[in-house]
Each structure stands twice: as structure tokens, then as C-alpha cells.
A and B are shown apart, each in its own frame.
Chain A
Amino acid sequence: MVEYRIDRRSGVATYLQIVQQTKHALRLGLLEPGDQLPTARAVVEATAINPNTVLKAYRELEREGLVEARRGMGTFVTRSLGAAQPADSPLREELRKWAERARSSGMDKDDVAALFTSVLDQIFEGEQG
């Protein structure tokens, strides 16, 4: 089960925060097909945001084919996102080694993040994030 954190100062629309956090959980494998999203009521009670905002976010996720509302039962995950890489995948291990090399060459975290982002932008140029 995911728990949403709403940041009212982020400037990102509240419903988008819910959509993004759900997708993030799907990418990390925290949510898998068959899992249930919290009911709109539970989200509203926990976050004190407008009920219509939660429903809008769930409708958006449904439109993208990620979840499905089952009448009277709730909203369920129908597919996972991305080529989900488990925490111990070879790719992750390579990246870890690369990050360690970057650090030992004297780069700090921000330098590494900037380099990584610029390479990502170059490779995935023109594709939707």
C-alpha cells in the first residue's frame, strides 16, 4: 500500500503529485499488479485534500491504463511501469560501481547528479520522460 505525501508548497498540482507518487511506486516495484490503491476516503482523511482531487488523480491513472476501478471494491493496479529493475539487478550494480569511481575521482553528489542527468538527456533526447 502506498501512502501519499502532499507538498502544498511544491507548485506541482496536487492531483499530479498523487499520479507521480503512484508511478514512482510502480517503477520501484512497491506497487505490483493486483495491489489495491488506498480508497479515496482514506487518502482524504490522511491528507485533508479535496476528494475530487484524489478522484481526478485516479481517473488519470486509469486513463493511462495503470489501474482499474472495480465497482464497490476499490482501485487496483493492472500493470507495472518501466522495465522494473529489482534492487539487486546487474544494471544497478554497474551504476553503483560507476558512482563510487566518480566519488573517488573527487566529484561531490551534485556534480555526479548533474553529469548523470546530462547523459540521460543526451541518450533519451526527444523521448517523453
Chain B
Amino acid sequence: MSIAAIEAVGLGKRYGRLGKWAVQDCSFRLPQGQICALVGPNGAGKSTLLGQLAGLVRPSRGELRVMGKTPGAARQQLAFLAQEKPLYPQFTIEETLRMGQELNPGHWDAERAARIVKEGDLDPGTKVRELSGGQRTRVALALCLGKQPDLLLLDEPMADLDPLARHQLMGNLLAEAGESGTTVVISSHILAELEGACDYLLLMENGRIRLGGETDELLSAHALLSGPVTEIGAGTTVVESKVTGRHMTALVRRDSEPLGGDWEVVEPTLEELLLAHMRSPQAPALLTPSAEPQAVRAGAGVAA
């Protein structure tokens, strides 16, 4: 198997000696070339995890490999866009891109950076402080992609953009990433903005990964049942169930087939899957085989 873009085992981060664990017992693997959504409620630990991946936040515990190296050693191969999109306000767009070139000698794609700016109809002579939120995001993204990273980490990149700017920028980003095979991790708490764009998913809550894997596989690993109130078989993991009078709906794992009972069975939508998990903190975590760190899998093999 080729080197994973990210491999984390038992990763943890606590701010201060007695503080709360922002990231806790976090284990997953992200194969290369995926466009991955990192979703979860506010305070789930998404930004801390991204900081750790970018090599800016030192893990308190656990193992972390980015493109097979420590995040510090992989710095040249990764680009990180923080939530506040830090840029020098006094620089013009042109000067900002020039800075990208000087800071990334030997692996800067000036043509690509200029193209992304141009697709937004921006004048390279404009100062950064005169740009709107969306334009600023576009320039920051041009800076990230000009570096030609193997792994691109984006923390809530589209949060302050209007729907049109969001759609255009997402289109540009996906087209660039698709052409160069870049692995992308995008964090967000807005599910709609990522549906259809991401083929991989990490659901994070309370510092832990609750769901991880190919979006298609995670969806087909679950079923949405509806029908008369019935006992669900003991072998089936119930994520969430709701009873309304004599009618019942339940989101379950397809871990024991057939599901039995007089159910109408459909595949949940991404939103239904995520919301059901967020409402049910007791539901066990699920990683598809490709999302399981190999160190963990090797251990399981020994136990069997």
C-alpha cells in the first residue's frame, strides 16, 4: 500500500497541564488523492487537529505521520490555510504572490497562482486590505496552491463567503486539486457546502473521530429503516431510533444482514447520517478499512 497522506494513532492534545483534551485518542488514516471533509460541531477539535497536521501544534500524545514523515519534516509538501486567512494587508496581490515565490524556491508554480487570481477577476495591483472576504480567500488559496503541495489543509475556508463566491472558488479548488492529485482536507460545520465535493469524510466530535472513510462506503454501511414499532435484532447496531405513535424510524449499521422486520429500508443521505451520529454520542465509531491506521490493523492481526 502506498504511503498515506495522513496517519494518526492515539493522537491527543491538551492545552495546559490541567486543561481539557481538545484532541483525544484520535486515530485514522487518509489515503492520498482524496478530497476529505473534516466535519463536526463547533469545539469538536477540528482546528486543533489541523494545527497538529500542519506542524504548528505539538501533539501532547500519540503518533502522527504526514506523507510518511513528521509534520515538521513534511513542511515543504503541505500547505495550510488558517481560518482567519492571515495575509499582509499592506502587500498588493502581486507582492503577495512574489512572497510565495521567494519563500518556496524551486517548487513555486507562478502560472498557477496567477491563474487562480485571474479567475476571480482581480487586479494584481490591488492591496490585500482593500479586498473583500471572498477575494482575500481567493488570494490565500492561490498562495497555497502555488506552493504545489501534496497535502492541502483548509480550515473553514468558505465560512465567510457568499454562495456564488463559494461555488466558484470550490470549483477552482477542486479542478486544481484534481489535476495535480493533491490530497485536500477541508474542515467545515456546514454540511451542504461539502456534499458532492468530497469523496472522503471524517466526522469529529469531542476530540475523537467518530466516522472515517469513503463517503459512499460510509453511506452504504448504514440503512434508514421506517415501519411499525418492532424490536430491532440484537446483532444490529442502532445509531438512533425514534418512535412516533405506532411508527418508528431508525438509523442502523448494516452489520448484520438481513435486517429482518417489516421495514422500509433506504440508504440515508449524508446529512441524515451525520446528524444521527451527532445526536447519538453513544453510537460506536466506524472507520472503513482504508481509514484504519496500519499500525492499529497490524495489532488486530496479531490478536486474531
Binding site for B on A (CB under 8 A): 6, 8, 11, 14, 40-41, 44-53
Asked if residues B195 and A8 are in contact (CB atoms below 8 Å), the reply is yes
Nearest B residue (CB) for A11: B269
Selecting from B18-26, B76-84, B174-182, B287-295, the interface stretch reads B174-182
Nearest A residue (CB) for B195: A8
A16 to B199, CA, bound (A): 15
Q: How many whole Å from A101's CB to the nearest CB in chain B? A: 40
Question: Does B190 belong to the interface (CB within 8 Å)?
Answer: no
Q: How many whole Å from B283's CB to the nearest CB in chain A? A: 24
A40 to B174, CA, bound (A): 10
Asked if residues B174 and A51 are in contact (CB atoms below 8 Å), the reply is yes
Q: How many whole Å from B192's CB to the nearest CB in chain A? A: 8
Asked if residues A48 and B178 are in contact (CB atoms below 8 Å), the reply is no
Asked if residues B175 and A44 are in contact (CB atoms below 8 Å), the reply is yes
Enumerate 24 A-B pairs (CB-CB under 8 Å) in ascending A order: A40-B178, A41-B175, A41-B178, A41-B179, A44-B171, A44-B175, A44-B178, A45-B172, A45-B174, A45-B175, A48-B168, A48-B170, A48-B196, A48-B197, A49-B174, A49-B196, A49-B197, A50-B35, A50-B196, A50-B198, A50-B199, A51-B35, A51-B174, A51-B175
A45 to B171, CA, bound (A): 4
Question: Does B242 belong to the interface (CB within 8 Å)?
Answer: no
Q: How many whole Å from A7's CB to the nearest CB in chain B? A: 10
Hey, which chain A residues are within 8 Å of B171, CB to CB? 44-48
Q: How many whole Å from B166's CB to the nearest CB in chain A? A: 8
Question: Does B107 belong to the interface (CB within 8 Å)?
Answer: no
Nearest B residue (CB) for A39: B175
A52 to B177, CA, bound (A): 11
Asked if residues B197 and A52 are in contact (CB atoms below 8 Å), the reply is no
A6 to B46, CA, bound (A): 29
Hey, which chain A residues are within 8 Å of B69, CB to CB? none
Asked if residues B199 and A52 are in contact (CB atoms below 8 Å), the reply is yes
A52 to B199, CA, bound (A): 8
Q: How many whole Å from A69's CB to the nearest CB in chain B? A: 15
Question: Does B297 belong to the interface (CB within 8 Å)?
Answer: no
Chain B 185-199 interface 0/1 with A at a Cβ cutoff of 8 Å (1 = within): 000000010011111
Asked if residues A48 and B167 are in contact (CB atoms below 8 Å), the reply is yes
